Structures are given as C-alpha cells and as structure tokens.
Amino acid sequence: MSTEARGCITIRNAAVVFDAEGGGIEAVRGVSMDVEPGQFVSLIGPSGCGKSTLLNMVAGFVHPSDGKVLVDGEPIRGPGSDRGVVFQQYSLFPWLSVRKNVEFGLKMRGVSAADREPAARTLLGLAGLLAFENHYPDQLSGGMKQRVGIVRALATNPQVLLMDEPFGALDSQTRVVMQEILTNMWQQFRISVLFITHDIEEAIFLSDKIYVMTARPGRIKAEITVPLARPRTAEMTSSLPFMDMVHRLKALIREESLAAMGTELREGGLTGFSMPVGPEGVSNVL
Ligand SMILES: Nc1ncnc2c1ncn2[C@@H]1O[C@H](COP(=O)(O)OP(=O)(O)OP(=O)(O)O)[C@@H](O)[C@H]1O
Ligand SMILES: [Mg+2]
C-alpha cells in the first residue's frame, strides 16, 4: 500500500445522450467536476438526474456523447481494475466463500495463488470480517455483504473507488456503522472516492466536497466544500455547521426534486395540486 494519495478524476463539459424510441434522452449536459487524489466527493440530486450515468462514465460503462472524462490524465476507454465499483445491489459470487470472493479481486490483479490468501485475510481484517472468511454470502447480513463488496473492490488496488448508493438498502443504524468503517478504510487506502447517495447527512459526514445536480438533464447546480475537520465524529452531526449544511443542501435538492416531478407540483405547491378540496378534506371529493 503506497502512502501517496491516488486517483484524480477530471470531467470536462461532459454530456450523455442515450438512444431511445422517439429521440434521444439527454441524461447529463455540460458537467465539469474534479476529484483530487485522495479526496472523498459525493454526488447528490433528484432521482433520474443522471448521477449513475456520471459514475458509470467514470467506470467506463457509459461513453460521453461530448466532453472529456479522465483518470490521472488518461481518457477512459472502458472498465478497468484501476477503478473499483460498488453498487447498491450486492454483487458477490454466491458460490464462493467470503475469502474466495476477495481472492477473486486479487486474482484479477495478478496476485499469485500463494499470496492471495494472506492478502485477502488482511483486507477482511480491516473490515472486521475475518471471523466470517469461510461463510458464504447468503449467510451474511446486508451490511456484512456490502462490506465484503467494498473489500473485494479494494482488492484490485484501484486508484479510485466508485460507489453508487452502496448503503441504500441498509437500515439507518447499519448505515451509520458502515459510514465509519468506510471512512476508516478510505483513510488507510488513501484513494479517491466518488460516492452517490440520497442521504444528505451521509454525504456531509463522509465528504470533502459535494456536487449537487439539477433535475435532468443533469448539470452541476452547486459545488460545496464541507468545512468539517477529520476525523469526523458522531458528535459533529449535531453541530451548528453540520446542521447549516443540511438545511442548505435540503433547500437546493427540494427545488430540483420539485422541478423533476413536473410543472404541476411546482405551480400548485405541495398543498394545492390544483384539486378542489372542501372543509371536510378529501372525503367529500372521493
Ligand atoms: N441505458 C440507458 N438508456 C436510456 N436511458 C437511460 C439509460 N440509463 C439511464 N437512462 C436515463 O437517463 C436519466 C438519468 O438516469 P440515471 O440512472 O443516471 O439517474 P440517477 O440520478 O442515478 O437516478 P436515481 O437517483 O433514481 O438512481 C434517466 O432519465 C434514465 O431513464
Ligand atoms: Mg442512480
């Protein structure tokens, strides 16, 4: 493990248009973003605004229709082991034990058969999973499966880790523990992370910087630096600067979520919906 921070993501004026019946779908337009080596950057925005599209572009699964996407100055030509990806759905091999799942990542990286087992055990130890090395994925809780997924993504020794709502399927207590584990691992590996979440508190707690996207076609609405010191602690989440950021980000997202839901909501507000309702509430309408 090197002590130099790694992984610089540069996105310049990127646009993505998907082919669709009746014309193209413009998913993102004119997006420029920077993730510095070792930085933790989150992407938030209303559903369908193009967050996954952007992340998939960096992963090499989606090609930009316009603009540039570079990792460490090199244009992305497709998926590669320099970029680890973790999705919300657990993507472990169910027929392999926890350790063999991690060893798979090491094998992809060309680690010799003899070195794989000790390396996998070290990685699992960092995620508190050593006691489960011989378990199979369906014997694990959701949080544990996702931890194995992160460890497996890290096993290829990537420059950057791309995470698309990795904790979206977990309950809120498990999420908090996962956030702390991820922060610890990120500090040990010193790689950059691009992280998508719908959870504003999660984005603030984890990130150095947050990009807020507009409704589709997704553009960058705001770039916000998180002014909290590291290491982050649970107490910080009730501090004034933290609460201020939550309010600010909620207001930005709300505007865009209303825009994404269409003009009816925007014009009527959330109480009106332009539906006539008498003093008895909806009972006289239905
Ligand atoms: N392969 C595809 N082909 C056609 N349209 C697509 C494709 N992938 C995404 N889209 C469209 O592009 C837009 C952006 O989708 P994307 O999945 O990037 O949004 P998102 O911000 O990740 O949403 P969510 O928060 O719901 O995950 C959506 O309108 C979606 O329907
Ligand atoms: Mg998405």
Task: List pLDDT tens digits, range 148-173.
Answer: 999 999 998 899 999 999 999 899 98
Q: Which ligand is nearest to the CA of 45?
A: 1
Give, using CA atoms, the residue closest to atom 1 of ligand 1.
18
105 lines ligand 1 (CB under 6 A): no
Give the pair of three-digit tokens for residue 276: 């006539």
Can you say how many angstroms the Cα of residue 128 is from the centroid of all Cα atoms in its chain? 22
Phi-psi bin for 38: left (phi > 0), alpha (psi -120 to 50), beta? left
Whose CA is closest to 148, among 132, 168, 171, 164?
Answer: 132
Predicted confidence at residue 221, as pLDDT, reads 97
Whose CA is closest to 55, among 84, 90, 21, 17?
Answer: 84
Q: What is the spatial distance between Cα 50 and Cα 48, in angstroms, rounded to a whole number?
A: 6
pTM higher than 0.75: yes
Q: Give percent above pLDDT 90 in the chain.
A: 72
Give the environment of ion ligand 2: residues with CB less than 5 A.
52
Q: What is the spatial distance between Cα 187 and Cα 228, in angstroms, rounded to a whole number?
A: 16
DSSP 7: -
> Are 54 and 11 contacting, i.e. CB atoms less than 8 angstroms apart?
yes
**226-263, pLDDT tens digit by residue?**
999 999 988 999 999 999 999 999 999 998 888 887 65
173 CA to middle of ligand 1, Å?
29
Domains and CATH numbers, the chain: 7-82+158-268 (3.40.50.300), 92-157 (no CATH)
197 lines ligand 1 (CB under 6 A): no
Q: State the average pLDDT over residues 122-132.
A: 92
DSSP 81: T
